[in-house]
Amino acid sequence: MNNLIKAEWFRLRHSGSSVLSGNLFIITFMSLAMTLFQFIGSEGLDISAMSFVTHAGMGIAMSVMVPAAMITGTFDSRLANYEIMKGTPPLQTVLSKILLVLILNTVFYFIPSILLVQIFDSGLLTAKMILLMYVCIAKSIVFATSICILFKSGVGTVIFVFAFAFQTMPLVILQYFTGIDMSAAASWFTATQVMIIGNQLLFDMEDLTLPLDGSYIEIKVIISFMITVAVMISLAHKSLKDKWEIQLTSPA
């Protein structure tokens, strides 16, 4: 796995401005800017840790999407074939890609974001919030990267962004057709969890138009992370092992 990560990091560093510097610039600055603009908008000019976390969803989506597309783009350029043809165990391929996306995200988005919020609001950013946020990011990375491996294309990140943005939509549809109140299930999804993590001390969530069930959020975050890891990594692993031939785009 070490060789895969070393080679991929080398490729990213030597692929010219279009890949590394360009994309990491996007991750670092656009994700941060998007996050900052959003919570500045909602809180006047009062920057707070809670409002950061509340509105971090867009930043997380961006900061996961770009490195996941960069790393799994090797399926589109067929460079990933070298990993397969040298007999790399499929699980190693999956884990190395997830780990590298996690490292890039942590270095270029998560740590700078946390430091930025600490500067503006050092008192309110709790260790629990940071940890739960990080688990939510890791969960998104596992999902996005696995989807891309499943479809053998970096374009798979589009599915991740749609899933992230419209994750409660299936619940709304289900509720419409079954009449069963599905709002409690929403807190099992990442975007909602991020809102709950940030909103816990901000206001009574029962007063919201869409009431958020914030109870046992730590457990829900961890269990949903474990389920995502188990399901998505198994699918990605099986797709590589059994050579599933499902593609979103024509190979290059």
Partner 1 sequence: MENSVITIRGLSKSYKKHEVLHDFSLDVERGHICGLIGPNGAGKTTVMKIMGGLIRQSKGEMEFFGDGDDLDKNRSRMSFMIEQPIIANNMTARNNIEYIRLLRGYPDDRRVDEILELVGLTNTGKKNAGKFSLGMKQRLGIGMALLPKPEIMVLDEPVNGLDPEGIVEVRQLIKRMQEEWGVTVLISSHLLSELSELCTDFSIISNGRLVENLSREELLIKCRGHLAVRTDNINKTAAVLEDKLSISDYKVIHGEEIHIFERLDEILRISKTITDSGLIITKLNEEGQNLEDYYLEKVGGRNE
* Contacts with partner 1, residue ranges (CB under 8 A): 3-4, 6-7, 10-11, 14-16, 18-19, 77-79, 81-89, 242-243, 245
Min separation Cβ 28 and partner 1, Å: 21
- One-character DSSP codes across 107-136: IIIIHHHHHHHHHH-TTT--HHHHHHHHHH
The residues, ordered by sequence, that sit 6+ positions from 161 with a Cβ below 8 Å of its Cβ are 61, 65
Q: How far apart are CA 212 and CA 226, in angstroms?
A: 22
* Residues near 48 by beta carbon (within 8 Å), at least 6 away in sequence: 39, 120, 121, 124
Least distance between partner 1 and beta carbon 153 (Å): 15
Burial status of residue 173 (CB atoms within 10 A of its CB: 0-12, 13-18, 19 or more) = exposed
CB closer to partner 1, 220 vs 237 = 237
Which C-beta is closer to partner 1: that of 73 or that of 198? 73
Minimum distance of partner 1 from residue 103's CB (angstroms):
16
Give whichever of 12 and 171 is closer to partner 1, judged by the CB atom. 12
Report the nearest approach of partner 1 to the CB of residue 244 (Å): 9
Closest CA relative to residue 237, chosen from 169, 142, 163, 171: 142
Minimal distance in Å, beta carbon 23 to partner 1? 13
Beta carbon nearer to partner 1, 5 or 182: 5
Q: How far is the CB of 250 from partner 1 (least distance, A)?
A: 13
Using the structure block, give the residue that is written with the tokens 């006047």.
44
Of 4 and 32, CB closest to partner 1: 4
End-to-end alpha carbon distance in the chain? 26
**Between 103 and 159, CB nearer to partner 1:** 103
Q: Shortest CA distance to 197 belongs to which of 73, 53, 8?
A: 53
